[in-house]
Structure 1
Amino acid sequence: PPLLLSLSPAPTDRQNSKSLSLWAGGQAAMESPTSAASRVDFYGFLDRMRRPEAADLFRSIKSFLASLSLDEPSAEADGARVQAFFAEMEAAIRGHPLWADATHQEIDHALEGLEKYIMTKLFDRTFAASPEDAAADAEVSDKIGLLQRFVRPHHLDIPKVLNNEASWLIAVKELQKINSFKSPWEKLLCMMSCCQVINNLLLNVSMTNDRTPSGADEFLPILIYITIKANPPQLHSNLKFVQLFRRETKLVSEVEYYLTNLISAKMFIINVNGHSLSMEESEFQKHMESAKLGTQMSVASPSSSQGLATSTSGLQKQIDAEGSRFPFMDSETENLTQAELKQLHGLYRKTVTRYTLLSKALRKLSIDEDQLLASVDDS
């Protein structure tokens, strides 16, 4: 739908309040624990924007959205214009009577709320909007789908002492949440949560095993492996969206480090070869061909799958053997002790329970936000 195409006079204060209330209600229905950190920022921003004194700021926002909708979408051009508007609004907010006595943190909260409001409005225009982005997302997802079938921690030179299925599973789930949100900050929170789980794992292992933390030498390989395990939806588009539309002044320090590492993980996956996985190129190509065959078999009809499986039973057994994941993926069944089997069963029950709860939570977030946003524009 068009973005605020009507250039009608600015709404009254009562209309402003109604529009913001409707939109905020829709956002509340989509909240999740991951976005808890930004909830206060957002509602504090809306609370001030409902006041009569904020009418000039509200007009500026509507005018910007209307002007942007008149031009053809262009991710880079839109990114530059949005960043310029954020800078302009930051100056306006800092000098506005509503924030005359505000602390630096309160102003930052207002800017977080502004970013979320603007980018949710512009989401359909700015996220994965070009055929090139769709193609890049498909390329990354397909490549990861193949790598999932045979890549194991030792292929990335991850020490066994860092093999922690429980922590890895949490990191995977955090990364897979990125498409549940529409603001750059909330998407970035998912990426950061994933990276912080890995960072905590490295720190805990270094403390309990008297090891010297090795930083990126171990962090990046684990992040690559987690990304392969997660195969997060539209990874290319999510990274591009955050790079272009997250306020530039906030992409610094730890945030910049984590984002840069995730971009590096994506590039590693795109350019992966035998050497990068510590194997001969011929062996790598063999694994890739086997993975492609396994993918074809999984999408084929039952009858054709049966015939193909009969002619390649030995290969399929190899694929099945290598395709297991969490937990104890590198263990042989006959070598597991009774205690380990009990632990395995307990981990399985926890995984199923968490997955079920996550699925229920995500279903609750499936409200049609476009209709809610449309109601704001029509108010």
Structure 2
Amino acid sequence: PPPPELDPDLPFDFHRFLEQLRHRTADPVAKYLRSFLSEFSKKQWMVHEQVKIIHDFLGFITGKMGLCEVWREVSDQEFDHAKEGMEKLVMNRLYSQTFSPAIPPPNPPTPIGRRSRGREMQMTGRRGQHQEDVERDEILAQKVRIYGWVREEHLDIKPVGESGRKFLTLAMQELEKIKSYRAPRDKVICVLNCCKVIFGLLRHAADGDTSADRFVPLLIYVVLRANPEHLVSNVQYILRFRNPDKLGGEAGYYLSSLMGAIQFIESLDRSSLTITDVEFEKNVEAAVAAIAEKPASPPRASAADDERSSRRPGQHDYNKSNNKPSNNSNSDTDDPTAAVAGLLRSIQKPLSTIGRIFGETTGPAPPEVDNPGGATPRGRSPAPQGRGVQRAGSGRSGPGGGMNAEEAAARQASAEAAEALRIQRAEHDDVVEILKNMFPELDKDLISDVVVQKEGRVGLAVDACLLLSS
């Protein structure tokens, strides 16, 4: 694997970014943001259009942020964190339109226009590459159900022992968390944590061999055992909407490895395993029979429902073809370039103020503090209390004595910060307990200090514990 990236001197803090966005000098940026979110939601875009529009907007708004007083004099690292915060905020809000399983399934085409003859047909709901993602999710899930019996020896994995199984269990837990979070950055962190734990297991082994020949079979085994929901869609979502500059180094290596594991499972057959024909046929027949006997289960909740019901801390085309129009797509416009340009022009006309961004929503929006639980990526830190969340003079009541938008926003921010702190403490305790079981020779208080120092990043904490125990 590539060398681990150095920890930044200044951790990413999403709450700090939200505070900066509430600053009066950031009002122009907030207005452009609100306008963009409103305009984006007025039409169902194809995948390649979404990718271009969102990346173009993030590039545009980065330039506007650099002109604001609140960001003009900050360090390069803090401004990079502000860009990360903007990506997270935008993708949190557009998740139901950009994450394939969260988009409603396709409906039968409906005619456009009043006349019965010569009417065009419009298809609503999930389509094009979004529909392909979900179909691949279903194929992968079916493969995992059929090959759920695969054991380490079938993949030529050396025995890992009881201690090694704790590493693998933790890796599965980290990968399963990918479904619970909306920001591409947070999903990447789930993948990183999973892979770092696996590498921790390899470094912990007697021979210390961390080659790809040892790593990839373990990753395949973890995917088969964890069977995370919508794994293909999650990977595609990361590839499409994560800042491309952040997909090099470790992130790029681990994502490529995960895509390789997915493709291996999709094409899995007898020749892929070390197993006798008799044992293979017996296991497959038993798995197929068990699937056939299992009563039909109710449809799984959509990713959007999953997000709301979970605790609230808030290439298949793997070669850049995601940016190209799909052959079977039914675009709503004859000229997608013109449509994209029109949307980008429309955001030049801001629609509202910062108070409305945080005080009004069109529906139940989740708190903006959703970071991978347990993994506690950088950026989970709650906003410092009493630090200018509310502007001077915003304590005035609105008509009828009720709270105005800014008061509501301040209360919401305070409640979110308190909830984030509670979740962070609970997850800290969980991580410490898991690591204590993995490294019983280390003092629990020492492990707690390590987790704090590594800001809850499970992969980094495992590396540190390995060094301390060696």
Query: TM-score normalized by structure 2?
Result: 0.54
Instruction: Assess if the C-alpha contact under 8 Å between 1:86 and 1:247 holds in 2.
Output: no
Residues 84 and 191 of structure 1: CA distance in aligned 2, closer, same or farther (over 3 Å): same
Residues 69 and 199 of structure 1: CA distance in aligned 2, closer, same or farther (over 3 Å): same
- Could you list the per-position Cα deviations for residues 69-122 of structure 1 after superposition, in whole angstroms to 9, with x for gaps in the alignment? 233232232122212222222233234322122112101111121111100110
Q: Report the aligned-residue RMSD.
A: 2.9
**Aligned residue in 2 for 1:24:** none
Amino acid at match of 1:160: P
**Aligned residue in 2 for 1:191:** 191
Gaps of 5+ in 2: 1-9, 104-125, 298-308, 315-360, 368-404, 410-470
Instruction: Assess if the C-alpha contact under 8 Å between 1:187 and 1:238 holds in 2.
Output: yes
Residue aligned with 1:177, SS: helix
**Aligned residue in 1 for 2:269:** 273
**Aligned residue in 2 for 1:49:** 21
Aligned counterpart in structure 2 of residue 70 of structure 1, from 42, 67, 70 = 42
Shift of 1:283: 5.2
**Aligned residue in 1 for 2:58:** 86
Instruction: Assess if the C-alpha contact under 8 Å between 1:155 and 1:278 holds in 2.
Output: yes
Aligned counterpart in structure 1 of residue 312 of structure 2, from 357, 365, 374 = 365
Larger displacement relative to structure 2 (55-64 or 194-203): 55-64
Amino acid at match of 1:107: F
Residues 281 and 242 of structure 1: CA distance in aligned 2, closer, same or farther (over 3 Å): farther
Aligned counterpart in structure 2 of residue 295 of structure 1, from 287, 291, 297 = 291
The 5-angstrom pairing of residues 213-362 of structure 1 reads 213-279=209-275, 284-299=280-295
Provide the rounded CA distance (Å) in 1 between the counterparts of 2:68 and 2:230.
Answer: 39
**Structure with the larger helix share:** 1
Q: Determine if the alignment matches structure 1 residue 109 to structure 2 residue 81.
A: yes
Shift of 1:221: 0.5
Residues 182 and 363 of structure 1: CA distance in aligned 2, closer, same or farther (over 3 Å): closer
Instruction: Assess if the C-alpha contact under 8 Å between 1:274 and 1:283 holds in 2.
Output: no
Instruction: Assess if the C-alpha contact under 8 Å between 1:275 and 1:281 holds in 2.
Output: no
Provide the rounded CA distance (Å) in 2 between the counterparts of 1:299 and 1:70.
Answer: 40
- Could you list the per-position Cα deviations for residues 318-363 of structure 1 after superposition, in whole angstroms to 9, with x for gaps in the alignment? xxxxxxxxxxxxxxxxxxxxxxxxxxxxxxxxxxxxxxxxxxxx85
**Aligned residue in 2 for 1:331:** none
Provide the rounded CA distance (Å) in 1 between the counterparts of 2:49 and 2:277.
Answer: 41
**Aligned residue in 2 for 1:97:** 69
**Aligned residue in 1 for 2:398:** none
Provide the rounded CA distance (Å) in 2 between the counterparts of 1:70 and 1:162.
Answer: 55
Provide the rounded CA distance (Å) in 2 between the counterparts of 1:293 and 1:62.
Answer: 52
Amino acid at match of 1:127: F
Gaps of 5+ in 1: 1-37, 302-361
**Aligned residue in 2 for 1:146:** 146
Shift of 1:137: 1.3
Provide the rounded CA distance (Å) in 2 between the counterparts of 1:224 and 1:109.
Answer: 33
- Could you list the per-position Cα deviations for residues 6-41 of structure 1 after superposition, in whole angstroms to 9, with x for gaps in the alignment? xxxxxxxxxxxxxxxxxxxxxxxxxxxxxxxx9953
Larger displacement relative to structure 2 (256-265 or 154-163): 154-163
Provide the rounded CA distance (Å) in 2 between the counterparts of 1:201 and 1:230.
Answer: 17
Instruction: Assess if the C-alpha contact under 8 Å between 2:177 and 2:190 holds in 1.
Output: yes
Provide the rounded CA distance (Å) in 2 between the counterparts of 1:300 and 1:79.
Answer: 36
Residue aligned with 2:43, SS: coil
**Aligned residue in 2 for 1:133:** 133
Provide the rounded CA distance (Å) in 2 between the counterparts of 1:273 and 1:242.
Answer: 28
**Aligned residue in 2 for 1:181:** 181
Residues 51 and 83 of structure 1: CA distance in aligned 2, closer, same or farther (over 3 Å): same
**Aligned residue in 1 for 2:435:** none
Instruction: Assess if the C-alpha contact under 8 Å between 1:41 and 1:112 holds in 2.
Output: no
**Aligned residue in 2 for 1:58:** 30
Shift of 1:133: 2.5
Provide the rounded CA distance (Å) in 1 between the counterparts of 2:261 and 2:27.
Answer: 45
Provide the rounded CA distance (Å) in 2 between the counterparts of 1:363 and 1:248.
Answer: 29
Amino acid at match of 1:117: L
Instruction: Assess if the C-alpha contact under 8 Å between 1:167 and 1:197 holds in 2.
Output: yes
The 5-angstrom pairing of residues 160-171 of structure 1 reads 160-161=159-160, 164-171=164-171
Amino acid at match of 2:365: L
Shift of 1:194: 0.6
